[in-house]
A = this chain, B = another copy of it.
Amino acid sequence: MVHSLTEENYLKAILSLSNENGQVNVNHLSKHLSIKMPTVTAMMKKLHSKKLVQYEAYKPLKLTDKGKKVAALVVRKHRLTEMFLVEKMGFGWEEVHDIAEQIEHIQSTEFFNKMDELLGFPKLDPHGSPIPDKHGKMVWKEYAKLSDCKKGDRVKLTAVINTSEDFLKLLNNKGLHLGSVLTIKAVEAFDGSMVVSYEKHTSETLSQVVCDRIRVEII
Contacts and interface: CB of A to CB of B under 8 A. Distances in A.
A110 B95 contact: yes
A151 to B, nearest CB: 42
B107 A102 contact: yes
Contacts of A106: 99, 102-103
A185 to B, nearest CB: 38
A102 B98 contact: no
Contacts of A108: 98-99, 102
A74 to B, nearest CB: 15
A121 interface: no
A219 to B, nearest CB: 36
Contacts of A85: 111
B88 A111 contact: no
Nearest to A118: B89
A91 interface: yes
A114 interface: yes
Interface in A96-129: 98-99, 102-103, 106-108, 110-111, 114-115, 118
Contacts of A107: 102
Contacts of A114: 89-91
A88 B111 CA distance: 12
A118 B118 CA distance: 16
A64 to B, nearest CB: 28
A102 B2 CA distance: 15
A107 B103 CA distance: 10
Contacts of A102: 106-108
Contacts of A99: 106, 108, 110-111
- The winner among A88, A99, A115 for most chain B CB atoms within 10 A is A99
A90 B117 CA distance: 11
Interface of A: 85, 88-91, 95, 98-99, 102-103, 106-108, 110-111, 114-115, 118
Closest 3 CB pairs of A and B: A99-B108, A102-B106, A89-B114
14 contacts: A85-B111, A88-B88, A89-B114, A89-B115, A89-B118, A90-B114, A90-B118, A91-B114, A99-B106, A99-B108, A99-B110, A102-B106, A102-B107, A102-B108
